[in-house]
Amino acid sequence: MHAKFGLFAALFLSLSMVIGAQAQDQEPKPERKPGHYNTNRFKQLYEEFSTPNQYRSASGAPGPAYYQQQADYKMSITLNDQRSQLYGEETITYTNNSPDVLAYLWVQLDQNKRARDSKSPLIEPSGVFPAKMASSFVSEYMGEGFDGGFKIDWVRDEKGNPLPHTVNRTMMRVEMPKALKPGDKFVFSIKWWYNIPDHTVDRARSGYEVFEDGNKGYVIAQFYPRMAVYSDVEGWQNSQFWGRDEFALPFGNFEVSITVPSDHVLDATGVLVNRKEVFSKEMMRRYELAKKSYDKPVLIVTQDEAERASTGFATGSKTWKFDAKMVRDFGFATSRRYIWDMMAVRIGDRDVMAVSVYPPEGNPLWEDWSTRVVASTLKSYSRMTFDYPYHKAISVHAKNQGMEYPMICWNYGRPEKDGTYSDRTKYGMFGVIIHEVGHNFFPMIVNSDERQWTWMDEGINTFVQYVAEQDFGAAYPDAIAPNETYPSRRGPAKAIVNYMAGDQDQLAPIMTKGLNTFNFGANGYSKPATGLNILRKTIMGEDLFDYAFKTYAQRWMFKHPTPEDFFRSMEDASAIDLDWFWRSWFYTTDYTDIGVASVKKYYVTHKMNTAIREMMQARGMSENDLPPLVYLVEEGSEDFEEDMRTQTLNDVVTLQEFIMDRMTPEERAGLKMPKYFYEVTFEKPGGIPMPIIADYVYADGSTERITYPAQIWRLNDASVAKIIASEKEIVKIVIDPDEETADIDTSNNSWPAEETVGEFQTFKSNIKGQ
Amino acid sequence: MNFSQTRALTQSQGHKFYVSTANIEFNPSTNNLEIIQRIFTDDIENVLRARYGTQIKLGAVNEAEENAELIKRYVLNQWTIKNNNQDLVLNYLGHQYDIDQVKIFIEVPINGSLAELFFENKTLFDLTSDQQNILHVKVGDERKSLLLFSENPNGVLNFN
């Protein structure tokens, strides 16, 4: 017996060699292929990742020697409303928590992006245009252009002595009297002013808008010289601000006083510490009500009051004072034409204020929805990450804006003058508020480096935005009616297919600096968001994903994570090796395309088939040399006989004898009796090794779904076969039936090949029906 | 920053960011090319306003009926398609809004056999010199793409 099995094993081993030898006989001897490095798609990312160290652990968590710098600011700001100028004096206390001695400091001067000598326009290729918007023509070719950029009056040390400083475009190097040792602090002050740009003209991230009545709404940010980040991964992050890649900022505490015309209202990052000085008694009363209103916003300033204020122009001024702890930035919004509302939202064991500030131009959309969207967003993001740690989140309405700062953001979504608005405007407004309020979590708190990695804040945020949009739709069905679920543009896998199927010359991997990508929106936002959604829904499952995602967020809350910290944490907390996914989805421009190449049907028989008989003969063996075998015969092959169709496993003598010899009647009763045997060959024209999600549809109408993990592709990247033993006949196989893998070509996803009624034909038959 | 905002931002900065996508598939059973072109509604609204008046609102609750005619007039004029050097007739079927995009459906009957296809598409080149129009063409199992921009508004694809 033992000998027979040994012989059989030897025979099987030689089977593949025989086939290999046959192929070689027919062709001229091929050149021996050279060796190669490990190019397997499941190879670990040792070469792409940096080596873990004391600052950043292999687990993806901050290491025992992790450090981050701190920058505390005391600022006094004055707005000149008439001339649209902003003046400021700031004192920065910079703490060197690094183990390095710093010879100089780098300060960011983002406003210089709009200075007359800015180099941003110079790196943009330009060709002759057949036509151009009149406004851009004027700004580009007529006149001197806007006199933007910081005017630095002085930079001084604590004692008032001038400090040597060098401005290199959007970065300023400040030299200290002596090098800053580890653990030491350096205190210095900067006095500056600048002309505030009209953000509706040149699309600045901050600035003012002029309303039809002549009043201005100011949304002010990047308004003060800001410390650059010094870290263990980049040293000084002093890559210039060209206008696209956003910001890298250290955490710190802010004390800011802002002086504006006395008829303005104002809200900003941080706790308003002199509320009683700047609020009227009636505003205080309404504010107390708002703190207890959990279901609807309470107006602090009504539309009527805002419109009345808009008719005047105060000559006096008022100073608003804010304290903000552990924020990386500061922004504020102010106008006499602002309506202001608030409501409370319960997050964990605390109350947070959801706040909206908007001109009458935003109504009725804004009074109806803005604050509710803010509240819903805080709940969703807190569930996915950590309880929102700040005391408020403000959504400010500014035309065409969508920009985020700690606790405050600017959002578009403006109805027509008659108050009507399209679905596009409404969903645009919901989406942008969810997105920008969501940025409080990424990158305001999970403080990644936006200058280098757009996807770490925009992509991750767009992913959670998708979850929050779906939550909002469920919480407010009236807001999205007649849709049953929120119509999210980004998140679902099939929404990224067009981009993934695009011309390879025009694609860049996600792991590319934003400035250097072709399609910034898809690269920085949609593709990473979709990748995380695929991980959550298809590859990891919600439980494992959510735990790991939360682990990442909590580990890096109020810290500076890198892409690797994210990648490592997701694996560390889930025990799922995702290197193949990071490699293909984040480091390459590969796409998904998996299909059914062929399906062969087999019958089981005890009659020896040709393949085995020929091998036996070649080796001079007889059937007696073999243990009892069952043979598979392909339908339509030379061994196939019609009566095999009707035979059952009971007719296979070798199998019956084996079963009767070795099994009790009870054991026999428990046996499955598969009747149909299929060899299904899957092909993978695409580079990404996604799981194969296969629906097997049986003749009785039932469907069975089998998901083969992506690792099925580890040894053969092009095609792989599976044997399916079934008691029922398979009539149909569909790959990725729910369109969850971003498969760019679904024409090979069905067996038998199915003529799908495409979007085009559906549209055509619909218009015929009308 | 929001994704839509990044598109708007590029207007002054000139990043190659404005994109429309057309999926073009040959249907052998009807011998037609079937085109679905996706254009951002904001972009096409802007170009229609520049051409035909600032009051045009696309996708509003009570959308003006003449908008359909304006969209058709504009979009159709941006296309030229030839097969073996012969101009083809484009049958415009209509449009459909999809959140922030408008989808355009065009059918193009092919006379005789399909071989050398010439495509020109100048959609939105009159609005911004940074516009790119991407054409994905599929004939049988063959897929080819064209990237069209104002300096390079047309291209030829061979399907033999």
**Coil, helix or strand at residue A551:** helix
**What is the band of B14 on the pLDDT scale with cuts at 50, 70, 90?**
very low
Nearest C-alpha of chain A: how many angstroms from B86? 24
Task: For A246, name the nearest residue in chain B, comparing CA atoms only.
Answer: B1
Q: In Å, what is the CA distance from A611 to each residue of A632, A637, A729, B129?
A: 10, 11, 26, 66
Does the beta-carbon distance from A126 to B16 stay under 8 Å? no
Does the beta-carbon distance from B2 to A423 stay under 8 Å? no
**Spatial CB neighbours of A649, under 8 Å, sequence gap ≥ 6:** A604, A655, A656, A673, A674, A675
Burial classification of residue A559, based on how many CB atoms lie within 10 Å of its CB (0-12 exposed, 13-18 middle, 19 or more buried): middle
Which chain A residues contact residue B5 at CB under 8 A? Answer: 400-403, 412, 432
Instruction: Name which of A18, A7, A97 is nearest A614 in CA terms.
Output: A18
In a domain, B69, yes or no: yes
pLDDT score, position A424: 86
pLDDT score, position B129: 74
Q: Is A418 touching B (CB cutoff 8 A)?
A: no
In a domain, B45, yes or no: yes
Describe the strand order of the beta sheet including A719-726 as a list of residue ranges.
Answer: A631-634, A595-605, A676-683, A719-726
Nearest C-alpha of chain A: how many angstroms from B145? 6
**Among residues 611-630 of chain A, which lie with CB inside 8 Å of chain B?**
none
Q: Beta-carbon neighbour count of residue A515 at 10 Å?
A: 18
Q: In Å, what is the CA distance from A232 to each residue of A329, A473, A708?
A: 21, 42, 41
In a domain, B91, yes or no: yes
Q: How far apart are CA A380 and CA B32, in angstroms?
A: 47
Q: Is A328 touching B (CB cutoff 8 A)?
A: no
Per-residue pLDDT reduced to its tens digit, A144-192: 678 899 999 999 999 999 999 999 999 999 999 999 999 999 999 999 9
Which chain B residues contact residue A767 at CB under 8 A? Answer: 93-94
Q: How far apart are CA A248 and CA A69, in angstroms?
A: 12
pLDDT score, position A367: 98
The low-confidence residues of chain A, meaning pLDDT below 70, are 1-27, 124-144, 202, 770
User: Which of B13, B42, B99 minimises the CB distance to A243?
Assistant: B13
- Listing DSSP states for A174-194 in one string gives EEEEEEE-TT-EEEEEEEEEE
Instruction: Name which of A99, A89, A109, A100 is nearest A173 in CA terms.
Output: A109
**Among residues 112-151 of chain B, which lie with CB inside 8 Å of chain A?**
125-129, 134, 136, 141, 143, 145, 147, 150-151
Residue appearing with tokens 């309020």? A437
pLDDT score, position A115: 86
pLDDT score, position A357: 98
Please give the backbone phi and psi of residue A382, each rounded to the nearest 5 degrees, phi first. Answer: -65, -40
Give the residues across from A193 on adjacent strands: A87, A151
Nearest C-alpha of chain B: how many angstroms from A731? 24
**Among residues 27-86 of chain B, which lie with CB inside 8 Å of chain A?**
27, 34, 36, 38, 41-42, 50, 57-61
Per-residue 3-state assignment (H helix, E strand, C coil) for chain B:
CCHHHHHHHHHHHCCCCCEEEEEEEEECCCCEEEEEEEEEHHHHHHHHHHHHCCCCCCCCCCCCCHHHHHHHHHHHHCEEEEECCEECCCEEEEEEEECCEEEEEEEEECCCCCCEEEEEECCCCCCCCCCEEEEEEEECCEEEEEEEECCECEEEEECC
Nearest C-alpha of chain A: how many angstroms from B87? 22
Which chain B residues contact residue A764 at CB under 8 A? Answer: 93, 105, 107
User: How many residues does this entry show for chain B?
Assistant: 160
Rg (CA), chain A: 33
Give the residues across from A335 on adjacent strands: A265
Q: How far apart are CA B141 and CA A595, in angstroms?
A: 13
In a domain, B108, yes or no: yes
Q: How far apart are CA B139 and CA B160, in angstroms?
A: 10
Q: Considering chain B, what is the average pLDDT of its residues?
A: 85
Does the beta-carbon distance from B129 to A501 stay under 8 Å? no
ipTM over 0.95: no
Task: Answer yes or no: is pLDDT of B35 > 70.
Answer: yes
In a domain, B99, yes or no: yes
**Coil, helix or strand at residue A642:** helix
pLDDT score, position A298: 98
Domain count, chain B: 1
In a domain, B7, yes or no: no
Residue B73 lies in domain: 19-158
Q: How far apart are CA B146 and CA B128, in angstroms?
A: 19
Q: Is A492 touching B (CB cutoff 8 A)?
A: no
**What 8-state DSSP symbol labels residue A345?**
E
**Spatial CB neighbours of A179, under 8 Å, sequence gap ≥ 6:** A101, A102, A103
In this predicted model, which residue has the larger pLDDT, B18 or B40?
B40
Task: For A128, name the nearest residue in chain B, comparing CA atoms only.
Answer: B129
**What 8-state DSSP symbol labels residue A159?**
T
The tokens describing A575, both together, are 């025990």
pLDDT score, position A324: 98
Does the beta-carbon distance from B57 to A422 stay under 8 Å? yes
Q: Beta-carbon neighbour count of residue A162 at 10 Å?
A: 9
Instruction: Name which of B102, B129, B124 is nearest B16 in CA terms.
Output: B129
In a domain, B2, yes or no: no
Task: Answer yes or no: is pLDDT of B7 > 50.
Answer: no
Rg (CA), chain B: 16
In a domain, B124, yes or no: yes
pLDDT score, position A481: 92
pLDDT score, position A126: 59
Question: How many CA atoms lie less than 13 Å away from A5 in the CB half-sphere?
Answer: 2
User: How many residues does this entry show for chain A?
Assistant: 770
